[in-house]
Structures are given as C-alpha cells and as structure tokens.
Amino acid sequence: MTTSSTFAYLGPEGTYTHEAALAFARRMGIDNPELLECASFDEVFECVDRGRCEYGVVGKENALEGPVTATLDNFALKSNATILGEEVVDIHHCLIVHPDAKLEDITCVASHAQGIAQCRRFINEQLPGRSTIITSSTADSVRKVMEDKSIAGIANAFAAELYGAKVYTGEIEDHFGNQTVFNLIGRQGHPQVFAGDHYKSSIALFMQQDRAGTLNMILSELAYADINMTLIQSRPTKQALGDYMFFIEFEGNVNEPHIQTALNCLRLKLREVKVLGSYPM
C-alpha cells in the first residue's frame, strides 16, 4: 500500500536530491514531508513502482555532466513511473569544515567524485598538496568532517547545517551556473500535482529496426506537428549491440490534439512510443 505523501530520495540526508525533495514538498504545500532515504536512483524508482512511497525524486540532467543515465534507463526500460514535475537546483559547492577546525588543520579534502572534479581549481590554489578522498555523496563528506577535524568536505550549505558543520568558504566551484534538473515521479496513472500554463512532455521511442533515416523520420513528424523539441538523447536498449532508443522532451502536453496525432503517426512506424509524462515547465 502506498505511503501517502512520502518522498523517496537519494540519500544520505543533505544531498542535492534531498534539497530537491524538500523544494517539491514546499511547492505542494507540505511543510513536514515524510522522507524515505534510498541508496540509489534505482531504489527510488523501485519504491515508487512497488508503492512503498507516493513520490520519488530523481536527478535527470546536470549542466556540466549531462543526462543522468541511470534515470533515463529507468524511465525507458525498467520503470512505469510517471513524471509529475521538475525542479532546477543551483549547485553551489562549499568548503565544509568541523566547527573547531582551522584551515591549517586540513590534511585532505573529501567529496563525491564530481564534487572534487568541479572544484579542482580551488583545491589546487587554496589547499595545495592535500590529498583527496572520494565519498559516496557530497553529504557523506560532511559526516566525515564531523568525525575528523583534519578533513574538509565539499558539499552544499544545506548539508553543513544539517550536520552541524561550518561553511568555511562558499561557491568554490570552477564553473558558475551549474544546475541539476530533478524530476518528481509517481506511479503510472498518478494525477497531476502541479498546475501551469506551459507544459513539457517526455517520451521514449523504440525503433522497429536500425535503418537509415529513422531519426530523420522522427524529427520530421515532430516538426510537421509544430512541436518544439527541447532534448534528445540516445540510449542502448541493453538487448543487443547497436540497438538504441531515443529519449525526447518537447514543449506541450501529450493530450493536445496535434501532439496526439504526431505520437499516433510515430506509433505506426516505431516498435513502441512510451509516454513518460506531461508536467508544467
């Protein structure tokens, strides 16, 4: 049985996914949401599909790293979850230290691999010679900080506040403007939770066979229906070498007549057209 208004997210507490889950809850008017910590995005999808929670929060795309392939593969190949909304979270990395630590105490820097990579310039300039430790998440680096004053973590200010650590320096990322898009998901058939005037839709397209002109045919159908595509990403179907599908996003709601017509035309020419959801932009 579904646990009402429970949000599954990628843990531990203090991750950017946790932050996104709270943002979704606020938009829904839920002040103290019940949260279910998961070890992976695969587990988030599984919790939603099996009814352990009503909602799940998964990362879909990062401005620097690109699409989150685990999420795309679940949408296309493993899960029947529906996309209910999206939230864009600004990624601002901070140097996090123990409340009693000084910069000269720091002997190593810990964070998720992406956190280390995205702050390499700051580490080289401000903490030269320090070793690095890869953690399972940015939030996990803050837990290590609270256990050892010689470790500095790279995480968000939200995680520092949760664990009682100190933000030594903020916005240490090499590239400003880094953002991650998160999706709110629910079980197939879940009613919409957000209202809006402008919608975006996500679909997964599976080819009958790999042949010349298939992608051009897909793009032509969308263009003929005056559909503005905002994202296209190919992914292997994991069934055979060279067998690929397309993950596509476009402006509009799949219930609009001209979009329904375009999708029905694609259904005549493709193996499967899987609608993943329509949600406010």
Total number of residues shown for the chain: 281
Is residue 262 exposed (0-12), middle (13-18) or buried (19+ Cβ within 10 Å)?
A: buried
pLDDT value for 4: 64
Radius of gyration of the chain from Cα atoms? 21
State the helix-helix crossing angle for 214-224 and 257-269, rounded to 10 degrees. Answer: 160
Give the Cα separation of 263 and 257 in Å (integer): 10
Of the candidates 182, 227, 222, 228, which has an alpha carbon nearest to the alpha carbon of residue 84?
A: 182
- 3-state SS track over 215-252: HHHHHHHHHHCCCCEEEEEEEECCCCCCCEEEEEEEEC
* Mean pLDDT over each residue of the chain, to the nearest integer: 92
CATH number assigned to the domain covering 6-90+178-186 = 3.40.190.10
pLDDT value for 67: 87
pLDDT at 32 over 50: yes
pLDDT value for 272: 94
pLDDT at 99 over 80: yes
pLDDT band, very low/low/confident/very high, at 238 (cuts 50, 70, 90)? confident
User: Could you report how far apart the first and last alpha carbons of the chain are, in Å?
Assistant: 30
Tell me the β-bridge partners of 133.
110
CB 206 within 8 A of CB 166: no
Every domain of the chain and the residues it spans: 6-90+178-186, 94-169, 199-280
Topology of domain 94-169, CATH: D-Maltodextrin-Binding Protein; domain 2 (3.40.190)
Q: What is the pLDDT of residues 38-71, one digit of tens each?
A: 999 999 999 999 999 999 999 999 888 888 889 9
Average pLDDT estimate for 19-38: 94
pLDDT at 177 over 90: no
pLDDT band, very low/low/confident/very high, at 25 (cuts 50, 70, 90)? very high
Architecture of domain 199-280: 2-Layer Sandwich (3.30)
Q: What is the pLDDT of residues 109-130, one digit of tens each?
A: 999 988 999 999 999 999 999 9
Domains 6-90+178-186 and 94-169 share a fold: yes
pLDDT band, very low/low/confident/very high, at 31 (cuts 50, 70, 90)? confident
